[in-house]
Amino acid sequence: MADPQLTTRVLRRLLANGLVTRAERLLARSHPADLAPMLGDLHADEVRTVVDILFRQHRAAATLRELPPEIFPQIFDALGDQRLADILTRLEIDDMLEMVEWLPEERRQPVTSRLPEEKAAELRKAERYPADSAGRAMTTRFVGLGLQMTAQQAIDRIRAVGDDTEAILYLYVVDEKGRLAGVVPIRRLVSAPPERALSELMIHDPVRCRADDDQEQAAQAVARYNLLAIPVVDEEDRLLGVITVDDVIEVITEEATEDIYNLAGLHEADRVFTTPLQSFRRRLPWMLLNLGALFVAAWVIGLFEHTLEQLVALAFFMPVVAGMGGNSGIQSLTVITRGIALGEIEFSSGLRLVAKELAVALAIGAVAGAVAAAMATLWQGSALLGGVLFVSMVVTIGVAGMLGAAVPLLLKALHQDPALGSGVIVTTVTDVVGFITFLGMGTLLIERLS
Kindly tell me which residue out of 10, 20, 123, 186 binds its own copies, with binding defined by CB under 8 A: 186
Indicate the residue among 87 and 320 with the shorter CB distance to its own copies.
Answer: 320
Indicate the residue among 249 and 444 with the shorter CB distance to its own copies.
Answer: 249
Q: Would you give the DSSP letter of residue 207? A: -
Indicate the residue among 81 and 270 with the shorter CB distance to its own copies.
Answer: 270
Answer yes or no whether residue 279 interacts with its own copies by CB under 8 A. yes
* Ramachandran assignment for 230, one of left (phi > 0), alpha (psi -120 to 50 degrees), beta (any other): beta
The edge-to-edge listing of strands for the beta sheet with 144-146 is: 144-146, 170-174, 180-185, 203-204
Q: How many residues bind its own copies (CB under 8 A)?
A: 117
On whether the CB atoms of residues 241 and 140 are closer than 8 A, the answer is yes
To the nearest 5 percent, what fractions of the chain are helix, strand and coil? Answer: 70, 10, 25
Q: Would you give the DSSP letter of residue 214? A: B
Q: Which of residues 61-80 bind its own copies (CB under 8 A)?
A: 68
Q: Which of residues 122-151 bind its own copies (CB under 8 A)?
A: none
Answer yes or no whether residue 420 interacts with its own copies by CB under 8 A. no
Distance, CA of 98 to CA of 101 (rounded, Å): 5
Answer yes or no whether residue 384 interacts with its own copies by CB under 8 A. no
Q: Would you give the DSSP letter of residue 163? A: G
Answer yes or no whether residue 162 interacts with its own copies by CB under 8 A. yes
Which among 44-52, 78-86, 174-182, 365-373 is the span making contact with its own copies, rule CB under 8 A? 365-373
On whether the CB atoms of residues 428 and 434 are closer than 8 A, the answer is no
Helices 245-263 and 215-224 cross at an angle (nearest 10°) of 110
Question: Pick from 379, 401, 361: which is nearest to 314 by CA?
Answer: 379
Question: Pick from 45, 47, 46, 5: which is nearest to 27 by CA?
Answer: 5
Distance, CA of 190 to CA of 448 (rounded, Å): 86
Answer yes or no whether residue 313 interacts with its own copies by CB under 8 A. yes
Pair type for strands 209-210 and 229-233: parallel
Kindly tell me which residue out of 10, 197, 207, 420 binds its own copies, with binding defined by CB under 8 A: 207
Answer yes or no whether residue 298 interacts with its own copies by CB under 8 A. yes
In whole angstroms, the minimum distance from the beta carbon of 82 to its own copies comes to: 28
Indicate the residue among 363 and 384 with the shorter CB distance to its own copies.
Answer: 363
Answer yes or no whether residue 291 interacts with its own copies by CB under 8 A. yes
Answer yes or no whether residue 331 interacts with its own copies by CB under 8 A. yes
In whole angstroms, the minimum distance from the beta carbon of 38 to its own copies comes to: 10
Indicate the residue among 97 and 336 with the shorter CB distance to its own copies.
Answer: 336
Question: Pick from 328, 321, 298: which is nearest to 438 by CA?
Answer: 321
In whole angstroms, the minimum distance from the beta carbon of 300 to its own copies comes to: 9
Q: Which of residues 344-363 bind its own copies (CB under 8 A)?
A: 344-345, 349, 353, 356, 359-360, 363
Answer yes or no whether residue 203 interacts with its own copies by CB under 8 A. no
Q: Which of residues 209-228 bind its own copies (CB under 8 A)?
A: 209-210, 213, 217-218, 221-226, 228
Answer yes or no whether residue 204 interacts with its own copies by CB under 8 A. no
Indicate the residue among 18 and 58 with the shorter CB distance to its own copies.
Answer: 58
The edge-to-edge listing of strands for the beta sheet with 239-244 is: 209-210, 229-233, 239-244
Distance, CA of 450 to CA of 448 (rounded, Å): 6
